[in-house]
Amino acid sequence: MLRKRLWPRFALATLIAAALPLAVLTAAAQASKPAAAQASPAAAAATGQIHGQVIDPTGAPVGGGGTVSMYLNGLASATSTPKYELSVDADGSFKGDKIAVGSYTLTYRAANTPKGQVVDQIDGVKVVAGQDTAQNFDMTRAEYMSKLTPEERKTIEETKKKNEGILKENAQIKNLNADLAKARQDDRSQNFQDAAALMQKDVAVKPDAAVLWVELGMAQRGLKQWADASTSLQKGIELDAASKKPNPGLEGAANDALGECLAAQGKIPESQAAYDAAAKINPPGAGMYYQNETIVMARSGQTDATVAAADKAIAADPNRPIPYYLKGQALVSKATMDPKTQRIVAPPGCQEAYQKYLQLDPNGQFSGDAKQILAQLTSSQPTSYKAKKH
């Protein structure tokens, strides 16, 4: 019989690099410049474009929300009115179209920069007719960094090192997520050897990731490496339980698989405890877990344990037909023969279990067997069964 398995898919969380709060610099007022000669009408109408990106002192794009201001012929004072103001996007980029030709001072202000101050300033930016000028605010440049205090530079260096570690971690996590997807596909294709090898490599890279140990245990279970699978699954369960945000679905699936592995090693009480743990940590899956326990106990020849598991499965979800059938099958094995009537006498609950199975799944995989057994138990059964209306 095919056993339905509840294996939820989990992906490792991706770390996100944090931007450093930028130091705000007071804008240096430029000396007044002679007025430019009056431009001809054709020159006055000439325009170009400009685009660029704002890079913070750690080398990361700013998070957006700021403004790039453009002052034609330079910035006369900190309160001057810009000719153009360009919004900075979420990736730190900005652009402007139909910008009058000329020489500009560009300033960048973050969303919280006080009036009269700027974060960065670049002078002498040329906009040429018909051309798209590229101009970035790169705050990693020596000119900018030299204006910062030693404390600010120290903070920036610390943040750069932290972000380098985060980027490395992100790259590692991206690779691990790809490996997880590959291992799960291998598992679906019953290519358990490749899945196990891949996860064995990954748990060595990131031994604190519960999901990797669980996936390794799933692959080892497919290979019937019961002891190794039990060790891997238990490791995954322990890691997840100790994490800041335990995942009930992951632990439920791991305990469900662990129950099968332990039963295969003859460790029935431990197996039963694993299924109980699965139902406790993830109650919505209790019906599935206990049905799986019923199947495993029946397969292991554990009659009493099969009946006990079936009762738990029925209590958790009374609309699953399989637990009723397996309960009836386990109980009928204890049937006796009445010496006077020569009729089969089944234990209490046996007949009712078969009848309930047929009520829920009248044309199911085991309906013929159930009907045959019922016919032998008594001649007073219904001769036909219809699916229960919901």
Q: Is 66 inside a domain boundary?
A: yes
Residues 6+ apart with CB under 8 A from 85: 67, 68, 69, 70
Mean pLDDT of 297-310: 97
Q: Is 283 inside a domain boundary?
A: no
- Structural domain containing residue 69: 44-147
8 Å CB contact between 68 and 50: no
Domain CATH for 120 = 2.60.40.10
CB-based burial label for 312 (10 Å; 0-12, 13-18, 19+):
buried
Q: Is 272 inside a domain boundary?
A: no
Count structural domains, the chain. Answer: 2
pLDDT tens-digit readout, 152-207:
888 888 887 887 777 777 778 888 999 999 999 999 999 999 999 999 999 999 99
Q: Is 49 inside a domain boundary?
A: yes
Domain end among 92, 127, 147: 147
Q: Is 259 inside a domain boundary?
A: no
Q: Whole-angstrom Cα distance, residue 273 to residue 284?
A: 18
pLDDT tens-digit readout, 123-137:
999 999 999 999 999
Domain end among 147, 167, 195: 147
pLDDT tens-digit readout, 353-384:
999 999 999 999 999 999 999 998 875 444 44
Q: Is 53 inside a domain boundary?
A: yes
Q: Is 6 inside a domain boundary?
A: no
Domain end among 114, 147, 180: 147
Structure-block tokens of residue 365:
């995989």
- Looking at per-residue confidence, does 164 or 67 come out higher? 67
- Looking at per-residue confidence, does 18 or 215 come out higher? 215
Q: Is 296 inside a domain boundary?
A: no
